[in-house]
Amino acid sequence: MMKIKKVNIPAIHDKDLEKILSDYGLYDDLIKKKLNCFNCNEIIDIENLSGFVVEDNSLNVICNNPDCLAHATSKNNESI
């Protein structure tokens, strides 16, 4: 049995990332460090932001902790 799980979060380039965050009105919050990781509650900034989870039409951000990414992957039903 393979234990390695492919992380299904699209590679995000900085410009896309800004656009996605802007679309959801979260870009200012990111700059002001007002966003927290959906899984571990770590403060998210441009350095450790590594993914998104969309739930009930709102965007949640994920830090670069592998556990959080795994959590995000299991939550992501739709890709952005």
Residues found near Zn ion in the complex (CB under 5 A): 37, 39-40, 42, 63, 65, 68
Find the shortest distance in angstroms from Cβ 72 to Zn ion: 9
Contact yes or no for 52/72 (Cβ under 8 A): yes
Beta carbon nearer to Zn ion, 18 or 42:
42
Rounded to an integer, what distance in angstroms lies between the CA atom of residue 3 and that of residue 55? Answer: 26
Beta carbon nearer to Zn ion, 1 or 47:
47
Burial of 57 (0-12, 13-18, 19+ CB in 10 A): exposed
Beta carbon nearer to Zn ion, 24 or 36:
36
